[in-house]
Chains A and B, each alone.
Chain A
């Protein structure tokens, strides 16, 4: 179901967590709230869930205005960064919780739990306790638990934040596929732009309690509205007021009229991608993102002077 947030403001003491925020998320969309810590993204998610109350403004889910509806009747599924497992219950009982408190018939509960455990690939672990699962498994259990009562929207607060890099990558991919399968409106919070770009259909960039820009990943990357979005979504070189993307800096084999000279300070090999740190003629430092082939062909080495072509920099008023 669609989610609409209108003019929401939230203060904690003197700190303004959300400053007159408006947001619309379409039915069935997979949206990322992206921003640095303290930008208000988690607070916004918790207000949508009903775990926090806004000081002013309103929240609607579907056609229904839910601003004063308590969390338990909002029909949201919520997944916490640290999974919030019920430690004294088995995996199956954790998943069944939302159905049991609604007093659903036992057979139905059993069936739905089995179905969800299969969906999150924890079939064999139903009788385990959360402490016997890995972080990734606990997070999948938390997801199955949130999905059990068939929520209208699924909200995830830094769902992969506490996991190691490999499990993270796996779960991202998996969340994306899960969303294709069940199509429930989903919002997840992250501070990792790569994660947002990889998983989400729509990204909402937040900073200091405000929404800076919302749009498709590609749109944000190619047409950032301001310097915050430019520097938060994707890597960036800053030259005074101007910004350029590192992959837009070209290293040339021969100097021409559009090129300028630069000294190679350092070459960092990251696999396919190579990061070349340069000092320009005017003494300013930038870095270029090039492929392994380029550095091999041009035999780029530290201490060398090269010809580089800088793109037209982007300047935000």
Chain B
């Protein structure tokens, strides 16, 4: 914040300064106790005995499997939710149809419903005794206690982010530019790719980052539908829990650190991408599409 602002000479100046300092201390203290300290502890405990045990824990076949399964889940769920998220946002902001309000509410359901309930619901529909379960098992498709179910659960819980981040940007953008594109001869597809998407891209990127983070960290719903079979249906969070319950502290901490680093890498990638594109296009900072502001 603006530490360089000239100090106020008003009589109340020193007390405002004190209260500002107090506020800052409280805010930073809260962050430190809640976020930074626990995270730092994880890192500390992981590397407490040097790199060798960490390397051993990381290259454990089950750990490797959990890592790649997490990547796989993200690689499927995130693109799906990005496409559908943008689609839903366009439908809600640009479409005019009955039930728009209802759709707007339905989108937020994954935020409202506990992931464990999502997991149970998926079992009820796709499980052995579920609605589609019989038909699915007759055709040799396993959903529950298998990877497809985990994809479903991951996609479900991370569904709203792209739509929710894109909707306000679309609203802010307005329809003028899109109508201009239409009068210039662009069809709907050209208008979307050349005009709408570039204008909303920071909203979408931010939504993708949140989706990725959520998909990586998902535990509750996936825990129910996966069956937690070692080396088969354990992604990283499930693996962390498994190691923790089996008193393998190093294994648990190592996997936790990998998970945290993946999330950090996602955030960093977004930051770099944002910055580089900005620098290249030399855009004035006039945009309210700034991800830091959304």
Contact = CB atoms under 8 A, between A and B. Distances in A.
A84 B179 CA distance: 9
A3 to B, nearest CB: 15
B184 interface: yes
Interface in A67-102: 70-74, 76-78, 80, 82, 84-89, 97-98, 101-102
Contacts of B183: 49-51, 71-72, 74, 76-78, 146
Contact of B184 (A87, A89, A101): A101
Interface string B171-205: 00000110111111111001000110011000000
Given A49-B183, A101-B186, A101-B190, A131 B177 contact: no
A129 B284 contact: yes
Given A101-B185, A102-B185, A129-B282, A86 B179 contact: no
A149 interface: yes
B18 interface: no
A226 interface: no
Give the one of A50, A85, A88 with max B CB within 10 A. A88
Give the one of B185, B194, B287 with max A CB within 10 A. B185
Nearest to B197: A88
B286 interface: yes
Interface residues of A, number: 31
Interface string A134-154: 000000001001101100000
Contacts of B281: 88, 129
B194 A82 contact: no
B284 A72 contact: no
Contacts, number: 79
B182 A129 contact: no
B184 A51 contact: no
Contacts of A148: 184
A71 B179 CA distance: 9
Interface of A: 49-51, 70-74, 76-78, 80, 82, 84-89, 97-98, 101-102, 129, 131-132, 142, 145-146, 148-149
28 contacts: A50-B183, A51-B183, A70-B182, A71-B182, A72-B185, A72-B186, A72-B187, A78-B179, A78-B183, A80-B179, A84-B177, A84-B180, A86-B195, A87-B199, A87-B283, A88-B198, A88-B199, A88-B281, A97-B184, A97-B194, A98-B184, A101-B181, A101-B187, A129-B282, A131-B286, A142-B180, A145-B184, A148-B184
